[in-house]
Amino acid sequence: MSDEAKISKLVQKLPKLPISWEIGRYGYDWMDAVEESGSGWFVVPLWGSKGWNLGSWPHVIVLHYNGDEVYGVATYVEGDLTIRAYATPTQREVATDMIAHFYWLHNDSGPEDLPERFGDVPAKYFGPYLGW
């Protein structure tokens, strides 16, 4: 089976998310609809060792899903959704690291000394925020 076919099968295992344009025009409304759906998707507000903002609410929202055999990450950007599926939580965390890096660079909401190149970012800046 090709990698594309494997990824397609993983994506099909993810629960559906509310369609943003059916909910309303604000990201906060969509976040409420996700929570009310009981789908298992949840918003990830903070990321990295210091808990920097992940996304830029209500315009950019990042969600995770933890399944038995699939781990999802979804990005809502002003009503547009990108949904990806991974076989392991580690793969999903690396994808989230990349999302965080992009938005930290463009929104000045991450580490002050954040390198522009993803490969140069110290590992200590990435991963789930554990400071709850």
Q: State residue 21's pLDDT score.
A: 67
Angle at 85 between CA 84 and CA 91, to 5 degrees: 105
pTM, entire model: 0.91
Single-letter amino acid, residue 88 = T
Looking at residue 115, what is its pLDDT? 96
Could you report the per-residue pLDDT of 1-25, keeping only the tens digit for each? Answer: 676 776 678 889 999 998 876 777 6
pLDDT classification of 132: cutoffs 50, 70, 90: confident
Contact 87, 71 (CB under 8 A): yes
Closest CA to 21 of 74, 81, 63, 62: 81
H-helix or E-strand spanning residue 71: strand 71-77
pLDDT value of residue 122: 95
- The pLDDT tens digits of the residues spanning 40-99 come to 999 999 999 999 999 999 999 999 999 999 999 999 999 899 999 999 999 999 999 999
